[in-house]
Chain A
Amino acid sequence: MGFFSFLDREHTVAKPGYSRWLVPPAALCVHLCIGQAYALSVFNLPMTKLLGITASGPGDWKLTELGWIFSLAMLFLGGSAAVFGRWVEEGGPRRAMFTAGCLWAGGFFLSAFGVYIHNLWLIYLGYGVIGGCALGIGYISPVSTLIKWFPDRPGMATGMAIMGFGGGAFIASPLSVWLMGKFNTPTHVGVMETFMIMGAIYFCFMMVGAAIVRVPAPGWKPEGYVAPAAATKLISKNDVYVYDAVKTPQFWLIWWVLCLNVTAGIGVLGQASAMSQEMFPGVITPIAASGLVGLMSLFNMGGRFCWASVSDFIGRKNTYFVFMVLGFILYVTVPHAGSIGSVALFVFCFCIIISMYGGGFSTVPAYLKDMFGVRYVGAIHGLLLTAWSAAGIFGPVIVNYLREYNITHGVPKAQAYNNTMYIMAGLLVIGFICNFFVKAVADRYHMKANDPRLAGTAKA
Chain B
Amino acid sequence: MTKTYRMALLTGTLLAGPALAESTLTIESWRNDDLAIWQETLIPAFEAAHPDIKVVFAPSAPAEYNAALNSKLAAGSAGDLITCRPFDASLELYNQGHLTDLSGLAAMANFSPVAKSAWQTDDGSATFCVPMASVIHGFIYNADAFAELGIEVPKTRDEFFAALDKIKADGTYIPMAMGTNDQWEAATMAYNNIGPNYWKGEEGRLALIKGEQKLTDEGWVAPFRELAKWKDYLGDGFEAQTYPDSQNLFTLGRAAIYPAGSWEISGFNTQAQFKMGAFPPPVAAEGDTCYISDHTDIGIGMNAKSPNPEAAKTFLEWVGSPEFATLYANALPGFFSLNSTPVEMADPLAKEFVSWRQKCQSTIRSTYQILSRGTPNLENETWNASANVIRGSETPEDAAKRLQEGLASWYEPQK
Same assembly? no
Residues of chain A having any CB pair with chain B under 8 Å: none
Residues of chain B having any CB pair with chain A under 8 Å: none
